[in-house]
Homo-oligomer: A and B are copies of this chain.
């Protein structure tokens, strides 16, 4: 860690404590001013009204050092957008959806993470498995089997840490010696739910436990709902294994759909109350029916080649490690027809001067190339 990043990390630790996520106005304020300046302005109360609203109640809780020390004591770290391992690509979906006006999906300002895996690698082509706490043995069996088979093929599994489907999914992935990630709605040190403390230890050893909530934050119903956007965003697709008519899992599925992710649901016997939500999702075409891991792999499509081969770790995506603006510029490039810098600026929402500065850097990284009509994406050489 460089000193500069440490300052940014401390600033983001402060900001994560003062606003209850998701805090869209604070997020935009940090984008515009950078985290260090934004933190100073928030603390001084010198920020726009909407940002003040999000931060006024806790702006004097200057606990960054304490929180970072506490994380360190827990064997955890704060991963921030300035870090290489920040999962910029998957989280871009949150930023774009938030920019489109979807509420409650602003990206996190940072993530408290426990475990040795790199977060960006764990969030590369992952699958979320979610479902009811009051699951049936059928549901737990399916969650565990799906997670076991997917993790065995090298697909990282994301879930919450609840009883029922979540726990079964993590256990399945662990049994396959695969990567599994638990996303919490409370601080890393809170040990919730109590019956899963040992499971969370094992997950941290083999994969990751993460949260945007600072150490000591107690769990709360709204925090689980807010947390669900991370489970939806950090995976390529979400599988709902069992869900009642109204359930958190349906909320995650709805968010995943709104983010443009693949949403899948497992059917069950029609008399089962915990399959009602799955059947509704399939019936109203919000989710694709999956009856096997083969169906999941086929549905996600891009997994076609990769997920079939277990064995050596998959190559990183060429765009991994790109700054968020560079990603957006890259995203705006066409595959065949070239575009002008002005066009790219309009489509990406990045100002044209920055687009002009970014394109040659993408060219050096072999991610963009010039052609007769402008700039286009360079096909991946893989």
User: Which residues of A does B touch, CB under 8 Å?
Assistant: 138, 142, 266-270, 275-276, 279, 282-283, 288-292, 295
Contact = CB atoms under 8 A, between A and B. Distances in A.
A142 B269 CA distance: 10
21 contacts: A138-B269, A142-B270, A267-B267, A267-B269, A267-B270, A267-B275, A267-B282, A267-B289, A268-B268, A268-B269, A268-B270, A270-B292, A275-B291, A279-B289, A279-B291, A282-B282, A283-B288, A283-B290, A283-B291, A283-B295, A289-B289
Q: Which 8 pairs across A and B sit closest by C-beta, in order of nearness?
A: A267-B267, A279-B291, A270-B291, A283-B289, A282-B289, A269-B269, A279-B289, A268-B269
A100 to B, nearest CB: 27
Nearest to A142: B270
Which of A138, A275, A289 has the most C-beta atoms of chain B within 10 angstroms of its own C-beta? A289
A265 to B, nearest CB: 10
Contacts of A275: 267, 291
Copies in the complex: 2
Contacts of A266: 270
A172 to B, nearest CB: 15
A295 B279 CA distance: 10
A337 B24 CA distance: 52
A295 B270 CA distance: 11
Nearest to A268: B269
Nearest to A264: B283
A193 B288 CA distance: 38
Contact of A268 (B142, B267, B295): B267
A269 B270 CA distance: 9
A131 to B, nearest CB: 14
A9 to B, nearest CB: 45
Contacts of A142: 270
Given A267-B270, A267-B275, A268-B269, 13 more contacts: A142-B270, A266-B270, A267-B269, A267-B279, A267-B282, A269-B269, A275-B291, A282-B282, A283-B288, A283-B289, A283-B290, A283-B291, A283-B295
